[in-house]
Structure 1
């Protein structure tokens, strides 16, 4: 029998080492694709979203593995290549300091990297960078008096699409930094509460408690798409708000979101299968934030019943096993971004998928997981997201129970 997943943290560590070897270029002092892949904005360089996911994985890993700590500073330094110092935000692409293609959701993830790096190292420079960026993020609140939909965080510096990921991720960043700057904590907590209150009132579907994607400030009709990460980031923020305020309002929201996140009848599960084989069908870059949200829920809310904790444990463990068994390249141990077991390597489909799922779905690859010739191709985002799937999953499932597959 092939080796099984036993230690999610060790699996994540191996992935970080793998993508660092593959993509970090010492000469360029940045992540560099040898061959253009998903997340590149030219032949070699990556958009800041991909960089942020990978850097967060490095910092997550350094919390547990001392040998990863020397990677934190070169990783965090990459962000300076993307900074617009006049605006104090970070653009999607490297620039000379004057680019305004700035997305608040990307920058919220950058801020999280910086604040977590401070937490792991104690280097105050990272805290100062994170604080400056959080202050910039807070300027993205929609204060347009003529907006048809009031409030919410803008998605982009010049595009006032009010979306769930930005609003919740900014709330998360505010709550992160509040822990380390007590004299400013109330300001950050209050802003985070304003974000999540808006999120629930405007973007939560009351029928299933999932979080819808967003709404343009000039419109009132919500984009009803429901991604896993929008629920996950909102859950993280709501649970943390309960932890710092002990207001039962936030606990009720978090309880409902957590229940929805593991309800196999909701939209973001693939419901083409019987209940026992359903799975979250978004990419790993979204799933990692749902797993983090469920882990944060168990961390911040001690009153969670044992039965609920067990259900979350079992659901995360099941997804970790599926991700390991179906999306890991049998040759180099790295991962593509898909979470759908039929959209994987052909040899994995022909053996594991057919054995476990039968011929329910045909084999294919997602466009983001293949090169121009249609062959499987890995990318920086896939490496960072895969590492975070396992690091965050290990907070709930530190050791995977033996299984047959």
Structure 2
């Protein structure tokens, strides 16, 4: 069970939440001495430097570009470029710039460059997105995208994120081969990686043995698939893509399905949830037939906004209710009575403070995108 809420009030409340949270992340996690983001929260002062992974940079990068602040765009792009492998010209998981390169990371970096180009018209950003897209295409076998450079595993998240990069790049270049690429990737997803019993996607499979399937299911894969299908339907007019999006959206919102806990809340890690919200946003904005999902998406957003936001640290959020504060957990337990949670209380309070608690860089970057 859960409390009722006013969707109109929620939308009004979060109207400035995106910019407030994104700016607070910049205040707390941008380290001027390094010209880089820091994984460590500086709420206590004197935070040591801990380099974020490329995935984290991609998530805060997209939120930062969406702020439409050109100075921040320049700063985050420069920081991302610290991860570029000099030989392959795509991006490593760390600033070691080695061949520890992941296609899902790079697809999200392509989105950042696409957004940055659309905001600034800087041709270098568009060329960077095209270069990444070419790399992703070269890591694709029969429509499935290899997860790690020079490895065997075909990942569903890489396959759908590369497809989404393609359809988003097509919006700028009108290169129809990008649509064909995305179509082939989605065909691969539906043929080899969809569970016929619940219509959700498996995590991936071995390119050397398609029967060797990792049957884990994550919501971010469905989110990226929904976004890609929205673009494909818009660009081709083929109702097949609308029907597939409907089937996936139904599967993702099945309260007895893999994505729900006993309290009727989405159960995947918050740091990945922004992609599911993005997928629903894309299909709802595409066609009025998808508006029926709006109330469920807003119900999930209401939980994040009203139960995970720290009242002592407004615009910043905990990733889990279990590791929030005792008062927050008590309030949650009265509203959500389905059980399954226990308060851990392992908070990282600032020395000498009973209210200031360090927050997660990645969780809050994800929430910034959800608020957008």
Give the TM-score, by structure 2 length.
Answer: 0.88
| DSSP-derived class of the 2:267 partner | coil
Deviations 1:377-402 (A, max 9, x none): 412211210101111xxxxxxxxxxx
d(CA) in 2 for partners of 1:187, 1:102: 25
Aligned in 2, Cα 1:125/1:211: closer, same or farther, shift over 3 Å? same
Partners of 1:313 and 1:355 in 2: how far apart?
A: 25
Change (3 A) 1:268 1:362: closer
Q: 1:327·1:345 contact (CA, 8 Å) conserved in 2?
A: no
The alpha carbon displacement at 1:70 in A equals: 2.4
Count of residue pairs the alignment pairs up = 353
| Equivalent residue, structure 2, for 1:236 | 227
Residue 158 of structure 1 aligns with which residue? Answer: 150
| CA deviation after TM superposition for structure 1 residue 119, in Å | 1.1
Query: Could you list the runs of 5+ residues in structure 1 that have no partner in the other structure?
Result: 37-41, 63-67, 143-149, 392-405
Mapped pair 1:204 → 2:210? no
Are 2:108 and 1:109 aligned?
yes
2:93 counterpart residue number: 92
- 1:70 maps onto 2:62 in alignment: no
Q: Indicate the residue corresponding to 1:223 in structure 2.
A: 214
1:362 Cα offset (Å): 3.9
Measured in 2, the distance between the counterparts of 1:100 and 1:342 equals 37
Give the ranges of 4+ consecutive aligned residues of structure 1 lying more than 6 Å apart after TM superposition. none
Are 2:146 and 2:158, in contact at CA under 8 Å, matched by a contact in 1? yes
Q: Are 2:326 and 1:346 equivalent residues in the alignment?
A: yes
Unaligned runs of 5+ in 2: 1-8, 43-47
SS of the aligned residue for 2:16 comes to helix
- 1:139 corresponds to which residue? 138
Seen in structure 2, the aligned counterparts of structure 1 residues 29 and 242 have a Cα distance that, compared at 3 Å, is: same
Compared CA separation, residues 206 and 33, structure 1 to 2 (3 A): closer
2:336 is aligned with 1:337: no
1:363 shift after superposition = 2.4
Q: Does the CA contact (< 8 Å) of 1:88 and 1:136 recur in 2?
A: no
Task: Check whether the contact 2:41–2:358 (CA below 8 A) recurs between aligned residues.
Answer: no
Q: Distance in 1 between matches of 2:38 and 2:322?
A: 30
Would the aligned equivalents of 1:344 and 1:363 in 2 still touch at CA under 8 Å?
no
Tell me the SS of whatever aligns to 2:215: coil
Q: Matched residues in 2 for 1:362 and 1:299: separation? A: 34
Distance 2:244 2:234 in 1: 13
Once the two structures are superposed, residues 54-111 of structure 1 have per-residue CA deviations (whole angstroms, 9 ceiling, x without a partner) of 111111232xxxxx3321111111111000131121000013x5x1000000000000
Tell me the SS of whatever aligns to 2:199. Answer: coil
Alpha-carbon spacing, 1:33–1:231, altered in 2? closer, same or farther (3 Å): closer
1:382 aligned to which of 347, 350, 363: 363
Match of 1:174 among 163, 166, 175: 166
Correspondent of 1:214 among 191, 204, 209: 204
Q: Is the 8 A contact 2:28 2:41 kept in 1?
A: no
| TM-score for the superposition, normalised by structure 1 | 0.81
Give, in angstroms, the shift of residue 121 of structure 1: 2.0
**2:143/2:181 contact within 8 Å kept:** no
Give the direction of change, closer, same or farther, for the CA distance of 1:127–1:336 in structure 2 (3 Å limit). same
Alignment partner, residue 4 of structure 2: none
